């Protein structure tokens, strides 16, 4: 689908890059030639993915980072620049999530998720900016969720934070266009990961997964590679004129609100 190694010479910083969707982005971007810098709080989440990438001939650096702490985010970007020589692509993928009714959510529960998702994404963009502006090139991609643009009870903290990241994306797209920095977002629907199934699904993964799948008109969950390819497209030169957008990838689940019993027709 893509020219060979479209990211040759580029460096991609991927937060939450060791596991789940972050791992899928890291593997795909590395296959496409990027040097990847994987950030997350725990080294044990990062090392296996970095080792996998190196075993395939790629270049991977790990940088233990809590995106809630600006000094750590600054240190992440410094490490990325000093190790790889540039910071070209940034994927804001780190997330914090759990299901909770709004009236039961503690103040600190709200703050923790907003800190990781919204503040963490801004800190990463803000800290990457000097490098991207200096090289007159940057592509920022933030990972949202389809539930952030609708109402999905139980995810008030995460939905509000991700909607904030969407507003941030649009604003950065306008402000930083003059620096040749683009900012886009992806809103994935159902792409099962261990983190999502343990935090967001109720009951056995098999049963909950089947219930989620039932709502997807194309009849299946998304595949990680499909998401990673969309991310690669949005960070590539093919998408140079796409800026400030959120692309939904959910098999039309978002639009699946039948008003009538049309299936009985």
What does the binding site for ligand COA look like in residue numbers (CB under 6 A)? 95-98, 100, 106, 108-109, 112-113, 195-196, 199-200
Do residues 66 and 16 lie in contact, with contact meaning Cβ atoms separated by under 8 Å? no
- For ligand COA, the closer of residues 138 and 188 by Cβ is 188
Instruction: Count the neighbouring beta carbons within 10 Å of the beta carbon of residue 124.
Output: 27
Shortest spacing between CB 117 and ligand COA, in angstroms: 9
Comparing every residue's Cβ against ligand COA, the nearest one is 96
Do residues 80 and 11 lie in contact, with contact meaning Cβ atoms separated by under 8 Å? yes
- For ligand COA, the closer of residues 43 and 177 by Cβ is 43
Give me the residues paired with residue 252 across strands: none
Q: What is the DSSP string of 204-243?
A: -HHHHHHHHHHT-TTSSPPPHHHHHHHHHHHHSGGGTT--
∠ at Cα 63 (61, 65), nearest 5°? 160
Told to judge if 241 belongs to the known catalytic residues of this protein, a careful annotator would answer no
Shortest spacing between CB 100 and ligand COA, in angstroms: 4
Shortest spacing between CB 247 and ligand COA, in angstroms: 19
Shortest spacing between CB 260 and ligand COA, in angstroms: 33
Q: Which of 131, 147, 233, 238 is catalytic?
A: 147
- For ligand COA, the closer of residues 188 and 251 by Cβ is 188
- For ligand COA, the closer of residues 112 and 180 by Cβ is 112
The CA distance from 98 to 195, in Å, is 9
Q: Which residues are catalytic?
A: 147
């Amino acid at each position: 689908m893509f020219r060979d190694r479209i990211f040759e010479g580029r460096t991609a910083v991927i937060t939450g890059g060791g596991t789940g969707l972050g791992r899928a982005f890291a593997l795909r971007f590395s296959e496409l030639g990027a040097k990847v810098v994987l950030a997350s709080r725990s080294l044990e989440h990062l090392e296996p993915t970095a080792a996998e990438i190196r075993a395939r001939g790629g270049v991977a650096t790990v940088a233990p980072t809590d995106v809630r702490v600006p000094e750590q985010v600054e240190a992440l970007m410094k490490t990325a620049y000093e190790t790889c020589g540039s910071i070209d692509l940034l994927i804001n993928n780190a997330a914090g999530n759990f299901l909770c009714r709004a009236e039961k959510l503690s103040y600190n529960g709200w703050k923790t998720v907003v800190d990781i998702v919204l503040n963490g994404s801004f800190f990463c963009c803000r800290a990457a900016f000097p490098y991207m502006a200096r090289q007159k090139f940057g592509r920022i991609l933030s990972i949202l969720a389809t539930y952030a643009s609708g109402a999905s009870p139980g995810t008030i903290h995460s939905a509000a934070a991700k909607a904030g990241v969407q507003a941030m994306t649009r604003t950065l797209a306008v402000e930083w266009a003059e620096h040749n920095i683009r900012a886009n977002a992806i809103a994935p629907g159902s792409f099962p990961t261990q983190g999502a199934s343990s935090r967001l699904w109720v009951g056995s993964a098999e049963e909950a997964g089947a219930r989620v799948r039932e709502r997807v008109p194309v009849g299946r969950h998304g595949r990680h590679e499909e998401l990673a390819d969309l991310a690669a497209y949005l960070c590539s030169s093919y998408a140079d004129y796409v800026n400030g957008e959120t692309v939904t990838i959910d098999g039309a689940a978002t639009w699946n609100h039948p008003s009538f019993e049309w299936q009985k027709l």
